[in-house]
Structure 1
């Protein structure tokens, strides 16, 4: 299934855990404000020099501004880079805040006036940082106090080189004016730390609310039927997982039973082409979840939408992997009943590309353990109409051959870019599945298609189960006899995914071809 979060403090400056990625993104979003604010004040520097301190060096002031901008831009680049470690980003953040505060104090030396209110620039640095990245009070205070203290420290050090500045340090009047200005800087440091803590605390409460057991919810991945899928962080094993949740409005006894059945059935399957289940449970407030492996890649429906029909050899490559998954499932008495491109996910395992995983056993039935697999729950039949076999529609006996039919519809779609039967109404679609022969895929595919592969697809789409392949292994044997040209090689797969990664993509996954429906058996139509 297709995953980070507010920084959690550990030690003096540390950011750790799943929160690091989310805070990195927050920093990347907020730093453009600092990148604009910092150089904007260069205009004020020039004005002050021309109007008040003509002896100050404009060139040095602008160089200081440029140095600060470079430091902030460096921090921005680190925040944009996903592979930046939390430790490095933490250190760079501290360095950037302290450096910009120090630069303002150094620039104040150019004016040589202890009483000049240029020190209030430090308040702006503290405010901008707290806005970009709120944190707890003690850490915020450790960030703001060095910034606030940089002014008296640097101005004190500068007094050893500037007699005029040294004289101000010994003048009661100058010290009083300095104190009146500086107390606002210190007050800002404390108030900013308190406000930062308030924002951080609110974020932490939201963050804690997004936790189920040891799993921290990071971002929603998808929603359909009765379930939601979230990218989550496993805090025990420190890895991304896909967390499938039973929606709060779907908590009938039957829904929970079906959800648990999916978890138990899938967890027993070990094929490398079946999604792996790690955990099943419920939170303290009654939210049921299934934790499964998190996959990076795309489902077959997305690939066809983005790239069109696939080369026949690649279709055979994917079909073989579907058969390997289903063979094990069928041996265990598990009938998937919702095979379709949206539930077939293509990912990478190690250096192997184009690895297929069968997803979503949510409406699967265990025929060997629970009797007749006609219905998932009493009185209803579930499935996706475009890929539903005639016997499912007609409330007949559902077995492994029903999955074979759905595989046939999927292969047809991959080869041609369209399903064998399409209808604007549910009734028309059902009628087509029950009575109409499909148009041979060779007449709709964009390129040549071998007679052997076409025969495989058409046999999968036979109306009567007895006329189809009788199991996934028999279908696999038939696919092995299909020699498609040109062949699909590992280099072809690697090149495809490299090219795809270079293309910008903002489109969401294609919509499911109609929702999974509940069909009343008493309304079903017998197979002719």
Structure 2
């Protein structure tokens, strides 16, 4: 049994509000994708919080425990001030990385300032205390600044030139602060110029070289990842969801300003080997994509393009929608009124009716595959998604598709038609009518038709257990005629259901006139409950 719709916690093919950070601005690091730079910002936040915690515990916590040390440490600003400043910068950066109002380029520039400030804080703690430098006269070694600089360069990738600038400014903290300590007489350390250079300058120039090499390696890997995200004329920007068989990505056309959603579907392969795509599989994929591309219903998600990636993954390029799917809608706001349910269901029927006329069966109608959106000036505009396992109704001999294993049961257990659950090959559009009835049940009651501990238990229920009337599962009023129509959609025998999507739409219109839920009602609802 398969259900191939990647999910994002219930929402699919949407422009997520959380993606504004990585998609609303040009990447501050050319060559790296916005998502990789966004991940760098998250690592920057972790480094900032880690720095604050470790620095406080190492430099401030011990003096707080002992009164003598407390008086000495906090009695001189030069001992506690630089560290306090660097920790304040770290906390400021940590907050900035979580704020959607601060552009990503500004955050990364703040990260560079944090790298320098934190290095000066470390050097100050090591060399400005009177005993600190005196204890290390015989063997200075490398400061912790060197370790911090290399860690920062690898953890937060950026352009090599920018990384070198940050590393130079960071390691300059050691000779600068040691020079200040010498000039102020805060130490007995008195190296001659040659010793000063080879002890306090030259080793840190080598650290900068190492940082540059590390930055180039990380940057090269990042650019390779970004290049691998090119599919035809589209660049993958951000992953929106992932499922067992594929992924959904937000994408951008390289020449046009049009955003898109790309669904990647990977053929099954044994072990870790890259799947081999046969010529027959390619032809079947092309036939399916061309069949979907013929659909012109405004309530079917628009297919822009399709193809096969270099790793054998099939991909569809579709319009990017703003809104939420019916699964998220009901989970967020509860069951909807009968008037609105009929309004949405008739739009689903419009999409399925055209698919039927082209000889296609969707086979996976479910709330997560029905998107409700603001579409131009229209509100509560329905788009049916994921025709990825669509099957020609006339092709009775073929029991599998190129994306799934042969002899598998296609669909989602909670919304599957009895004939699909029983593995019958003579599936037609009436299977979609049954699934649409399950969607209606969900909209009206906020509950599934059947529940079970296992997928197999759900299949058995759909195949043999009569459904309870929706009106018995909710406190909201449901007209008796609509109650009976939903039950007729859920009939075990396909002959007892509405025989087509057009037939179902007409019966819905008789149950409840179309003006019971208007655009004014929809606009008012969206103003109150606009999905984020």
Of the three residues 276, 279, 301, the one matched with 2:305 is 279
With over 3 angstroms needed to count, the CA separation of the structure-2 counterparts of 1:479 and 1:37, relative to structure 1, is: same
Q: Is the counterpart of residue 35 in structure 1 residue 35 in structure 2?
A: no
For residue 363 of structure 2, give the secondary structure of its aligned residue in structure 1.
coil
Partners of 2:253 and 2:75 in 1: CA distance: 54
When normalised by structure 1's length, the TM-score is 0.72
Aligned to 2:486: 457
Aligned to 2:95: 77
Of the three residues 61, 65, 85, the one matched with 1:67 is 85
**Residue pair 1:401, 1:469 contacting (<8 A) in 2 also:** yes
Q: Is the counterpart of residue 447 in structure 1 residue 476 in structure 2?
A: yes
**Residue pair 1:9, 1:16 contacting (<8 A) in 2 also:** no
**Residue pair 1:401, 1:470 contacting (<8 A) in 2 also:** yes
For residue 365 of structure 2, give the secondary structure of its aligned residue in structure 1.
coil
Aligned to 1:339: 365
Partners of 1:364 and 1:452 in 2: CA distance: 31
**Residue pair 1:112, 1:164 contacting (<8 A) in 2 also:** no
Partners of 1:17 and 1:86 in 2: CA distance: 9
Compute the displacement of 1:144 (Å).
0.9
Of the three residues 183, 189, 195, the one matched with 2:202 is 183
**Residue pair 2:342, 2:512 contacting (<8 A) in 1 also:** no
Compute the displacement of 1:80 (Å).
1.9
Partners of 2:191 and 2:408 in 1: CA distance: 89
Aligned to 2:387: 361
Which residues of structure 2 form unaligned runs of 5+?
1-11, 14-18, 270-274, 401-405
Partners of 1:365 and 1:15 in 2: CA distance: 39
**Residue pair 1:21, 1:82 contacting (<8 A) in 2 also:** no
What is the Cα-based RMSD across aligned positions, in Å? 4.7
Aligned to 2:263: 243
With over 3 angstroms needed to count, the CA separation of the structure-2 counterparts of 1:319 and 1:115, relative to structure 1, is: same
When normalised by structure 2's length, the TM-score is 0.72
**Residue pair 2:308, 2:315 contacting (<8 A) in 1 also:** yes
**Residue pair 1:232, 1:243 contacting (<8 A) in 2 also:** no
**Residue pair 1:122, 1:185 contacting (<8 A) in 2 also:** no
CA-to-aligned-CA distance 1:319-377 (integer Å, 9 cap, x gap): 1331232233334443323222332234554687654331221332345xxxx254555
For residue 117 of structure 2, give the secondary structure of its aligned residue in structure 1.
helix
**Residue pair 1:75, 1:96 contacting (<8 A) in 2 also:** yes
Instruction: Identify which range, 330-339 or 395-404, moves more after superposition.
Output: 395-404
Instruction: Identify which range, 122-131 or 298-307, moves more after superposition.
Output: 298-307
Which residues of structure 1 form unaligned runs of 5+?
502-528
CA-to-aligned-CA distance 1:493-514 (integer Å, 9 cap, x gap): 443456xx6xxxxxxxxxxxxx
With over 3 angstroms needed to count, the CA separation of the structure-2 counterparts of 1:298 and 1:148, relative to structure 1, is: same
Of the three residues 414, 430, 437, the one matched with 2:443 is 414
Partners of 2:453 and 2:72 in 1: CA distance: 79
Compute the displacement of 1:228 (Å).
0.9
Aligned to 1:22: 39
For residue 345 of structure 2, give the secondary structure of its aligned residue in structure 1.
helix
Q: How does 1:21-170 map to 2 (within 5 A)?
A: 21-43=38-60, 58-82=76-100, 84-102=102-120, 120=143, 122-135=145-158, 137-152=160-175, 164=185
The aligned length equals 484
Compute the displacement of 1:450 (Å).
0.9
Partners of 2:98 and 2:432 in 1: CA distance: 45
For residue 474 of structure 2, give the secondary structure of its aligned residue in structure 1.
coil
Aligned to 1:324: 350
CA-to-aligned-CA distance 1:214-239 (integer Å, 9 cap, x gap): 44475472324xx3124254362574
**Residue pair 2:300, 2:351 contacting (<8 A) in 1 also:** yes
Partners of 2:221 and 2:81 in 1: CA distance: 39
Partners of 2:477 and 2:441 in 1: CA distance: 14
**Residue pair 2:127, 2:178 contacting (<8 A) in 1 also:** yes
Of the three residues 490, 507, 515, the one matched with 1:478 is 507
**Residue pair 2:41, 2:108 contacting (<8 A) in 1 also:** no
Aligned to 1:313: 339
With over 3 angstroms needed to count, the CA separation of the structure-2 counterparts of 1:245 and 1:28, relative to structure 1, is: farther
**Residue pair 1:105, 1:154 contacting (<8 A) in 2 also:** yes
